[in-house]
Amino acid sequence: MLNKYPLWKNLLIAVIVLLGAIYAAPNLYPDDYAVQVTGASAGVEVSESQLRTATEALDNAGIEYRDPAMEDGLAMVRFDSSDAQLRGRSAVHNSLGRDYVAALSMARTTPEWLRAIGAGPMTLGLDLRGGVHFMLEVDMDQAVEQRMEVYSSEIKRQLREERIRYRDGDPTDEGELRFVFRSEDDRDQAFRLVRDEHNQFTMNRRTSGDDYLLMLALTQSEISEIQQYALNQNITTMRNRVNELGVSEPLVQRQGDSRVVVELPGVQDTAEAKRILGSTANLEFRLEARSDAPSGTTEEFPFRNEARRTAELEREIIITGNNVANAQSDFDENGRPQVNITLDGPGGNMMRRTTRDAVQRRLGVLFIEHSSDLVDVERNGEIVQERERTTERSIISLATIQSTLGSNFRVTGLQSMEEASELALLLRAGALAAPMYFVEERTIGPSLGQKNIEAGINSVLLGFLLVALIMVAVYKAFGLLANLALVVNLTLLVAIMSTLGATLTLPGIAGIVLTVGMAVDANVLIFERIKEEMRSGMPVQSAINAGYSRAFVSIFDANITTLLVAVILFAVGTGPVQGFAVTLLIGILTSMFTALLFSRAIVNAWLGGRRGLESLSI
């Protein structure tokens, strides 16, 4: 018969619709506002004791809460409003010690049987949930400069080991390494050494008076590799720092060639987040210089807490904060703050090898922090803003090495416990490969996010209602069929977005509203084609078959162009544009399924078996 699907196709459509309904169902259970308590580090466990402390603090503060419980190894307390959640987080945070983190969270209310099959609600974007949005830019020039300093130290060490005499060797303003030799033979030996050991340089030999120069410049491919590494490493560090902040469902993603977007849902304290995320603090461990050290091999630095006191340290760096595997703040035997540090394997070996021959010498811990400010500069008669960079280096500890150091030791000389905790956090999360600067900051309050959700839901409902009324008025019974297909379409759209973990944003809601309008286009084309075939004298069953068959090409052409646009928007767009593109893309696919397969299956079941049908309610 013309309008009959085989059993397998009907079963397949029914299974798809059923799965769509199941995986869309978690969105009927909205998340609760909650505060979760976790350990500040991997070794700190949360127990019922911390949960009791948290609830007692909430009771003392007069903050209403409900359902305190231990969930998946963390303590969770739920609230009825975002305002109570914010006040509750402050109360819980103040009641717990520094070993625990109280973070804003959204507690799932999805039934256990749905969670068991991997079903969960859509993730809400920052504009719907509230929180802070940062855009940071990586200083690519500084990334290259820092790598040049590393190469400079390494080549100097190799030249000393080979007993090749040289002068200078520091990066120049032109971004080159400039080595000066007394003889041409020394320069040629250095040339061969660098050529064999460092293929990332282009080398140029020059003569200046009685000096023989060797100029080293990074290749363009090496510069690009350094910049990409800096960006990727900074993204990893940002994610580690966000995890240390205890924020649930954060977003850290690359944007363009040099920028990183960080979104922290539920966070309202931007000052703390900016201080942790943007900090470029790092440590360098160097030996104190000997009194007979050759000129140019030492540097003088001030002490961080005593500006008038200085000390000479060797230029050669033993290890940096990048070699730190773990760091915890604590108090020493005199009650002063300190940071207990554990090094990784290479760092521990380097520290052990260096300090083995340096017992009774002093080891300096150098605190390094980069900063920048926008300043007005005159260029070609115009005032433009440029970023002025500064780097501060100061000694926070200079202690005598009593015995060979290994992978575990401590850093003292910190001003407060807060500073020690922050330094430990930064060392655990990892140092930035290059400084990052805030170029954009937005804060969205939770009340505004709730209003956005309500406005989005209302817009979808209003759009659906208007479309449904028009379809029934124009196409009667077939209009009801189109409305049923539209309900299934929205259900599948929500189910797919929930399953894929797509983030729903305001532009995404706009894509859903657009999908509601576009989804009935295919039904309109089919219904009009059926009416046209019936007016030309074709039997009803044949007209139905022709309507679905001959309208397919038009429907496919109309949707494939929109599909390509959605793909392009997703590929080249960022943030809100991508959110809109994802929703539109999924909406197009689900609307084609519901129009061409689901509605046809319903028509087949409704009219396919009726012989002698002479008219339609269309």
CATH number where 380 lies: 3.30.1360.200
Decide if pLDDT at 269 tops 70.
no
Q: 455 near 373, Cβ under 8 Å? A: no
Decide if pLDDT at 391 tops 70.
yes
Kindly state whether residue 179 falls inside one of the protein's structural domains.
Answer: yes
Q: Where are the beta strands (DSSP E) in 428-539?
A: 436-444, 503-504
Decide if pLDDT at 17 tops 90.
yes
Please indicate, yes or no, whether residues 572 and 514 belong to a single structural domain of this protein: yes
Average pLDDT, the chain: 83
Please indicate, yes or no, whether residues 546 and 516 belong to a single structural domain of this protein: yes
Percent of the chain with pLDDT over 90: 19
Q: 504 near 580, Cβ under 8 Å? A: no
Kindly state whether residue 501 falls inside one of the protein's structural domains.
Answer: yes
- The whole-number average pLDDT for the span 286-302 is 87
Please indicate, yes or no, whether residues 359 and 475 belong to a single structural domain of this protein: no
Q: 540 near 471, Cβ under 8 Å? A: no
Question: Model confidence over 102-126: pLDDT tens digits?
Answer: 877 778 888 989 988 988 888 777 7
Please indicate, yes or no, whether residues 17 and 46 belong to a single structural domain of this protein: no
Please indicate, yes or no, whether residues 394 and 496 belong to a single structural domain of this protein: no
Q: How confident is the model at residue 412 (pLDDT cuts 50, 70, 90)?
A: confident
Q: How many domains does the chain have?
A: 4
Q: Which domain holds residue 530?
A: 7-26+446-607
What contacts 366, CB < 8 A, 6 or more positions away?
283, 284, 285, 286, 301, 313, 393, 394, 395, 396
What contacts 522, CB < 8 A, 6 or more positions away?
551, 555, 558, 559, 591, 592, 595, 596
Q: How confident is the model at residue 89 (pLDDT cuts 50, 70, 90)?
A: confident
Cα Rg, the chain, nearest whole Å: 33
Question: Model confidence over 125-174: pLDDT tens digits?
Answer: 777 777 788 888 888 888 888 888 888 888 888 898 888 988 888 888 78
pTM: 0.61
Domain of residue 148, CATH code: 3.30.1370
Kindly state whether residue 242 falls inside one of the protein's structural domains.
Answer: no
Kindly state whether residue 119 falls inside one of the protein's structural domains.
Answer: no
What contacts 176, CB < 8 A, 6 or more positions away?
215, 216, 217
- The whole-number average pLDDT for the span 35-60 is 83
Please indicate, yes or no, whether residues 501 and 565 belong to a single structural domain of this protein: yes
Q: Is 188 exposed, middle or buried (0-12, 13-18, 19+ CB in 10 A)?
A: middle
One-character DSSP codes across 191-252 = HHHHHHH-TTEEEEEEEETTEEEEEEEE-HHHHHHHHHHHHHHHHHHHHHHHHHHT-SS-EE
Domain of residue 46, CATH code: 3.30.70.260
